[in-house]
Chains A and B, each alone.
Chain A
C-alpha cells in the first residue's frame, strides 16, 4: 500500500470541517489521512517543516478572503487546495496565480475534493469545472494561449460531460482528454507570479509528458519581454 497523503483542513465552519472529514474517511482506498484541523491560519502547527502534505483551505475565514496568504503557505512547503463557496472566475484565477494547486468549489466537493488532494500531493494538475469556467472566461491580455483542442476539451468538461463523453464527442481517448485539460492547466502554472508549487506542477507535467518544454515557448518569450520591461511583472522561473 502506498503511503497515505496527510492533509490539514483550515475552515471556520465546524460543520464543513466535519463534512470534509467524512469524505476523507469514506474514501474506499483510505488514501488520505487527516492530521489537523484549524479554524484559521494561525492554528497551523509551527514547526521546522510543513505539518501536512496538503492543506484544504477555505478561502473565506471569518468573513475575509485569504487568497493573499497562499504564497506564504506555498513558500512554507505546503500544497494548497482551495475549497470555497465562491465561483467567481476572478477569485479562482487569483487563487491559482498565488500558487494553489487546485480550486474546488463547495458544490463540487463530494466528487472532487479527495481526488484534488491526491493530485496536488503528486504535483499533478486537477481541473474542476469551476476552474475550467475561470480559464474559459479569462480575458486577461497576458493569459496563456490555448490550442483549439485544449479549449474544446475544457468547454465540454465545463458544460458537464464526463471525460469519457468528452472523448467520444471529440473522437479521442479519455486519456487524451485528461492530457489536453492538464496541459491547459500547466500553461497557467507557467505564467504570472513565481511560486515553488507552480514550478513543481510544471516539472511534473514535463516529466509526465503532458507538456513539452517547447509548449511553453510563448511563456519564455514573455519572460524575455519581462526582462526588458521589468514593470510587466515577474514570470515563473
Chain B
C-alpha cells in the first residue's frame, strides 16, 4: 500500500514524540522529584540503604519500561511485570518508612504511579485505572497497618487526588493526542489518495484530449466539408480521405481496449505515419498474442515500415496466434516489389506479389 505508507509514518512519528515526552517526564520525576525527596528525608528513614535499594529497583523498572515503550506498545505480560515490580518496590519502601511521617517521606508512591502510566500508556485505559487503584490501596493498607490517624487520612486523600489526578491527566492527554495524530494521518492519506486520483484523471484527460485534437485536424474538417457540400462524395479523392479517417476512427476507438503488448502499439505508430500520407490502415488481431522479444519486434516493425511506406491507398495488418508463435501479415497495394528486411532474430519473412497487391507475413516462433 504505497498510498498509506506516508500517512502511517507520519502518525507513528507523532506517537513516538508523545512517548518520548512521557519517558522524560517519568524519568525526570523519579530522578529529581523522588530522588530529591529521598535525599531530603535521609535521616528520617530507619534504613536509608533499603530505601536507596528500592529507589534503584524503581529506576531499573522505569528504564526497562522506557526501552519497552520506545520499541512499540508492550504486551500485557511485559507491561504488567514492570508495573508489579514498581508496585512491590513502592509498597516495600512505604512499609519501611517511619509510621507517623509516611506521607511526607514516601517518595515511592509517585514514582510507582508514573511507572504505571509509562508502561500502560497505550493499553486499555481500565488497566491503568486498576493499577492506580491497587497502588493507592497498597499505600492505604500500609498506613492502616501503621495505625491510621484522621489527619493521615485527609493527607492521604489530598496526595491521592493530586498524584493520581496528574497521572490520569497525562495518560488521557497522550490518548487524545494519539487520536488527533491518527486523524491528521487519515486526512493526509485521503489527501494523498485524492491527489493520486486527480493525477490519474489528468492522464486520462490528456489522452482523450490528444485523441480529440487528432480528430480536430483530420476527421472533423472532412465532416464539415461534406456537410457544407464543398467536398463531393462522388470524388475519388474525397472517398479515399473518408476511408482513411474511418480507419483512423476505428483504431482510436479500439485503442486501449484489446491491444496489450508493445508490438501492437509499435504497429499502430507505423500505421499513424502511413495515415498522414492518406493510406487507410486496418489492424486486426486474432487470439491472445504472446509477448515478442525486442529484437524480433524490431525486424517485424521494420517490415511494417517498408510496406506501409510503399502502400498507395490501403493496407491491412493482422496479428494472429499460430503454433508456438505469432504471424504478423501485411496486405497492401504497394504496386511494386518492396525491399523487406532479411530473416533474423527468429523471424521468418515470406511474401507474394499478386498484381499490385503485396502480401507479406513475418512469422516469429518462440522455439
Q: Chain A residues in contact with chain B, CB under 8 A?
A: 87-89, 107, 129, 133-134, 136-137, 139, 155-156, 158-162, 164-165, 168-169
Contact = CB atoms under 8 A, between A and B. Distances in A.
12 contacts: A88-B258, A89-B286, A133-B284, A133-B320, A134-B286, A136-B320, A136-B321, A137-B288, A159-B320, A165-B354, A165-B359, A169-B352
Interface string B80-121: 000000000000000000000000000000000000000000
A153 B45 CA distance: 109
A155 B322 contact: yes
Contact of B286 (A107, A136, A164): A136
Interface in B307-361: 316, 318, 320-322, 327, 329, 331, 352, 354, 357, 359, 361
A164 B322 CA distance: 23
Interface string B238-253: 0000000000001000
Contacts of B352: 165, 168-169
B359 A158 contact: no
A159 B329 contact: yes
What is the predominant secondary structure among interface residues of chain B facing chain A? strand
Contacts of B354: 161-162, 164-165, 168
A137 B287 contact: yes
Given A137-B286, A165-B357, 8 more contacts: A134-B286, A136-B287, A158-B320, A159-B361, A160-B316, A160-B329, A168-B352, A168-B354
Nearest to A139: B287
A158 B286 contact: yes
A198 to B, nearest CB: 23
Contacts of B258: 88
A93 to B, nearest CB: 12
Contacts of B288: 137, 139
What is the predominant secondary structure among interface residues of chain A facing chain B? helix
Contacts of A155: 320, 322, 327
Contacts, number: 56
Given A159-B359, A161-B331, A162-B354, A133 B316 contact: no
Nearest to B250: A107
A139 B331 CA distance: 26
Nearest to A166: B359
Contacts of B284: 87, 129, 133, 158
A9 B126 CA distance: 79
Interface in B262-291: 282, 284, 286-288
B236 to A, nearest CB: 16
Nearest to B327: A155
Contacts of A164: 354
- What 4 pairs across the A-B complex have the smallest Cβ distances? A160-B331, A160-B316, A159-B329, A137-B287
Contacts of A137: 286-288, 321
A221 B250 CA distance: 43
A169 B359 contact: yes
A105 B357 CA distance: 23
Contacts of B357: 162, 165
A172 B163 CA distance: 104
A129 B320 CA distance: 13
Contacts of B322: 155
A176 to B, nearest CB: 17
A137 B327 CA distance: 13
A161 to B, nearest CB: 5
A161 B318 CA distance: 11
B318 A159 contact: yes
Contacts of A169: 352, 359
Contacts of B327: 155, 159
Nearest to A161: B359
A89 B316 CA distance: 18
A87 B329 CA distance: 19
Contacts of A107: 250, 282
B330 to A, nearest CB: 8
